[in-house]
Amino acid sequence: MWQSMSEGSAGTPCAATGHALLAAEQAQLARLRRQVDERWRALALASARPAQSAESLERLYDAYIRAVEAYLARQRALNSPREDRRRAS
């Protein structure tokens, strides 16, 4: 699939399309990374407040874990086509 999305009509790689896809994927990965950082900061600030409830901290922690999992899943998805191409050669 990766190869078919980045090939022109003659079956040759279309550099512009491939670079645009890679740039969009990298931008999405950067956005997910910012979400991880934001969730971590929110959790750290909340845990420093003495009046913060355990339930509130647990919700913030869960949101942080979900953000990390989304980031790692996207990172794996971006790396897997490259690994498949390396194995094939």
User: What pLDDT was estimated at residue 17?
Assistant: 72
Tell me how crowded residue 39 is: count the other CB atoms within 10 A of its CB.
19
User: What pLDDT was estimated at residue 19?
Assistant: 78
C-alpha to C-alpha distances, 25 to 22, 35, 64, 79, 82, nearest whole angstrom: 5, 15, 21, 11, 13
User: What pLDDT was estimated at residue 14?
Assistant: 57
User: What pLDDT was estimated at residue 39?
Assistant: 98
pTM score over 0.85: no
Mean pLDDT by 10 residues, the chain (89 residues): 36 63 90 98 94 92 98 92 55
User: What pLDDT was estimated at residue 48?
Assistant: 93
User: What pLDDT was estimated at residue 23?
Assistant: 87
User: What pLDDT was estimated at residue 86?
Assistant: 54
Q: Which two tokens stand for residue 32?
A: 């997910």
